[in-house]
């Protein structure tokens, strides 16, 4: 993707996977998770237990019912450069009955201790297991509509519940802000790494959404953007680039009726939206493999002043950082 048009299709395969979770729950069978971390949507009263066998029992309510999900079989992540198959949980939506043919939850030996791992966001439950590894459940609204629209469909409003299991460090989301095209537009750029190695996928749709377990979408939110209104709004989402884990996104005006976006009913065709320049920006990404979701948040920029030596020096500094990435798709200054 070019920095000037870093906008993938919004036909997000993860949203499709969210629907498949409900289907798996009705089957109550032990299956590999469609998305390595996704458990369910609209979950409340969430509880987490972990036994000495490395199995997590997730208990919550959804759609008016008490649900129990047993998850196991994965920790951390394989590096993108390794190819092969990314790690993923096995999830039994019968709470273990489909796997062991008994009600495990009645006597589940919980080894969870107080969580003392890295600071996380969107956490609803977490613990340090008996073997010293970490487990966490996080919940946030992944499927919000892009370009600052308020959600108009129930699926867009639903928070997703994700499960993670790791030891040591989490993924690192490095983010910078600057101006591009002679200071006319704001931009966010950066890279996603895990244990010092870039995180990226191998295949995407024509619009740029990942189609393999290694690929990750970075979700960008903007606060109090004059073009959108008060509060946090979803600006866009985009993949990290193959080979580098780098991303870059310029705040321009976009057409919500083309390019794979979704627009509310009766939105005028080819009526542009944005730019989503706001007072603060927030980026969130699901961690590689089954590592936890990570976020970044910082203030936005003011209008660029070419006569201000502070602005000029800052822009030169950010350009040097971007150039150091050596990413062929993110080169505009």
User: pLDDT of the chain along its 333 residues, tens only?
Assistant: 333 334 343 433 333 333 333 333 333 333 444 334 799 999 999 999 999 999 999 999 999 999 999 999 999 999 998 778 999 999 999 999 999 999 999 999 999 999 999 999 999 999 999 999 999 999 999 999 999 999 999 999 999 999 999 999 999 999 999 999 999 999 999 999 999 999 999 988 877 788 899 999 999 999 999 999 999 999 999 999 999 999 999 999 999 998 889 999 999 999 999 999 999 999 999 999 999 999 999 999 999 999 999 999 999 999 999 999 999 999 888
The 3-state DSSP composition of the chain as helix, strand, coil percent (nearest 5) reads 15, 35, 50
In this prediction, residue 40 carries a pLDDT of 96
Element of type H or E holding 63: none
CA–CA distance, 311 with 313 (Å, rounded to integer) = 6
Instruction: Work out the burial of residue 230: count CB atoms within 10 Å of its CB; fewer than 13 is exposed, 13-18 middle, 19 or more buried.
Output: exposed
Selection from 279, 293, 266, 203 nearest residue 8 by Cα: 203
Do 152 and 265 form a contact (C-beta atoms < 8 A)? yes
In this prediction, residue 30 carries a pLDDT of 39
Which DSSP letter does residue 167 get? S
CA–CA distance, 9 with 199 (Å, rounded to integer) = 20
In this prediction, residue 225 carries a pLDDT of 98
In this prediction, residue 62 carries a pLDDT of 96
Do 250 and 274 form a contact (C-beta atoms < 8 A)? no
CA–CA distance, 238 with 218 (Å, rounded to integer) = 5
Q: How many CB atoms lie within 10 A of CB 185?
A: 18
pTM (predicted TM-score): 0.88
Do 70 and 85 form a contact (C-beta atoms < 8 A)? no
What domains sit in the chain, N to C, each tagged with a CATH number? Answer: 3-12+169-325 (2.60.40.1940), 14-166 (no CATH)
Q: How many CB atoms lie within 10 A of CB 45?
A: 10
- Coil/strand/helix, residue 268: coil
Do 167 and 134 form a contact (C-beta atoms < 8 A)? yes
Structure tokens at 251: 């705040």
In this prediction, residue 260 carries a pLDDT of 84
Q: How many CB atoms lie within 10 A of CB 63?
A: 11
């Amino acid at each position: 993707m070019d920095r000037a048009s870093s906008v993938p299709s919004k036909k997000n395969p993860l949203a499709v996977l969210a629907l498949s979770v409900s289907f798996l729950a009705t089957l109550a069978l032990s299956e590999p998770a469609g998305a390595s971390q996704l458990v369910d949507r609209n979950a409340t009263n969430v509880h987490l237990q972990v036994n000495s066998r490395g199995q997590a029992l997730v208990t919550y309510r959804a759609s008016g019912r008490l649900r129990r999900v047993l998850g196991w079989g994965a920790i951390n992540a394989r590096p993108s450069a390794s190819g092969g198959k990314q790690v993923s949980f096995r999830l039994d939506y019968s709470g273990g009955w489909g796997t062991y043919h008994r009600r495990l939850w009645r006597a589940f030996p919980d080894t969870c201790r107080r969580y003392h791992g890295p600071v996380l966001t969107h956490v609803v439950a977490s613990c340090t297991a008996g073997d010293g590894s970490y487990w966490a459940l996080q919940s946030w609204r992944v499927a919000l509509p892009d370009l600052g629209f308020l959600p108009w469909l129930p699926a867009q409003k639903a928070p997703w519940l994700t499960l993670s299991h790791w030891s040591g460090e989490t993924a690192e989301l490095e983010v910078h802000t600057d101006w591009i095209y002679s200071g006319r537009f704001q931009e966010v750029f950066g890279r996603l790494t895990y244990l010092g190695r870039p995180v990226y996928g191998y295949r995407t749709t024509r619009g740029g959404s990942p189609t393999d377990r290694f690929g990750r979408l970075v979700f960008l939110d903007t606060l109090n953007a004059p073009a959108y209104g008060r509060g946090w709004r979803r600006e866009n989402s985009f993949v990290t680039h193959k080979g580098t884990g780098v991303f870059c996104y310029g705040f321009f005006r976009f057409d919500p009726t083309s390019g794979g976006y979704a627009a509310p009913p009766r939105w005028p065709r080819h009526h542009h939206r944005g730019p989503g320049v706001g007072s603060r920006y927030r980026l969130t990404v699901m961690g590689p493999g089954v590592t936890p979701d990570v976020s970044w948040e910082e203030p936005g920029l003011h209008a660029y002043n070419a006569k201000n030596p502070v602005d000029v020096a800052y822009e030169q500094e950010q350009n040097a950082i971007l150039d150091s990435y050596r990413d062929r798709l993110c080169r505009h200054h």
